[in-house]
Amino acid sequence: MEDEHALLLSRTGVASPIGSLTEDVGTKVDADTKDAFKRICNEAGTDAAGAIRNYVCKVVHGKTFDELVLESSQRRRLALGLEEAIGVPLGAPA
């Protein structure tokens, strides 16, 4: 591995802070609604799955999935910075 601090990520390149994303959540809508939703998602720079995932996480966890990933990433970067500053991996015996 090039960087000993590199994160091991899923196939999408995103490490999920809430565990493996294995469960489906879905619904049925009419074709016009589906087309409008897909257009709105495209304009927002996401896809239907990402938009639904963000909504479900916001309802359940109080934050979108994107916010949870960002916070997790920031915590990891902080931890790596602390490890480098003190010269001891976090979680290692003192």
Tell me, what's the pLDDT at 55? 95
Amino acid at 49: A
Tell me, what's the pLDDT at 62? 96
Per-residue pLDDT of 1-54, as tens digits, reads: 344 444 444 445 556 778 788 889 889 999 999 999 999 999 999 999 999 999
Does residue 63 surpass a pLDDT of 80? Answer: yes
Name the DSSP class of 18: T
Domain ranges (residues) in the chain: 31-86
Burial state string for 85-94 with b = 16 or more CB within 10 A and e = fewer than 16: eeeeeeeeee
Does residue 56 surpass a pLDDT of 80? Answer: yes
- Indicate the pTM of the whole model: 0.64
pLDDT band of 75, cuts 50, 70, 90 = confident
